[in-house]
Structure 1
């Protein structure tokens, strides 16, 4: 469904609403990424370049299906994935350095 706005203020309100949803979804994704760190044995497992490319292919297809720009979606996802990998590496390092349970 296309949103037809009649003013810049309506455009901005629509963007603000989408941003609230996106931030909520990013937080949820981040919590899952943090959980994933516990299942990965090495930092190479965290970086997982083949998985990154798999995700990029998938989201480019989703962008095309939704009538969006696959190029913009790819750029956003690459930046997001990079940030999450940095966060996951920190979590992974903490877990690797944590004392083992008896």
Structure 2
């Protein structure tokens, strides 16, 4: 939960700390994406548009529940998922 800050410096410090946590979680998510490539039989399974939409619906609901902007959350997730799909496609190709 966000705390009330007394200065712009403090706001930036808090954001920097969150960025570190977010990037750590992105790295962890990426490690699981790499593992997923081993279990998918072809590039269509990697792209999995139906699964993407399931994830988007889930994170929009979670954003609403946790007080985040669902539209911002969706945009961030769509960009992240697209980048991870590219990573996974490259890894899947390397495994073939």
Fold match, TM over 0.5? yes
Q: CA RMSD in A?
A: 0.6
Deviation, 1:2, is 3.2
The whole-number CA distance in structure 1 between the counterparts of 2:79 and 2:2 is 27
Who is 1:11 aligned against? Answer: 11
Report whether the alignment pairs 1:35 with 2:64: no
Report whether the alignment pairs 1:74 with 2:78: no
Q: TM (normalized to structure 1)?
A: 0.92
Who is 2:56 aligned against? Answer: 56
5+ residue gaps, structure 1: 97-102
Who is 2:26 aligned against? Answer: 26
Deviations 1:60-92 (A, max 9, x none): 001000111000000000000000000000000
- Once superposed, which parts of structure 1, at least 4 consecutive aligned residues long, lie more than 6 Å away? none
Q: TM (normalized to structure 2)?
A: 0.98
Deviations 1:8-61 (A, max 9, x none): 000000000000000000000000000000000010000000000000000000
Report whether the alignment pairs 1:46 with 2:36: no
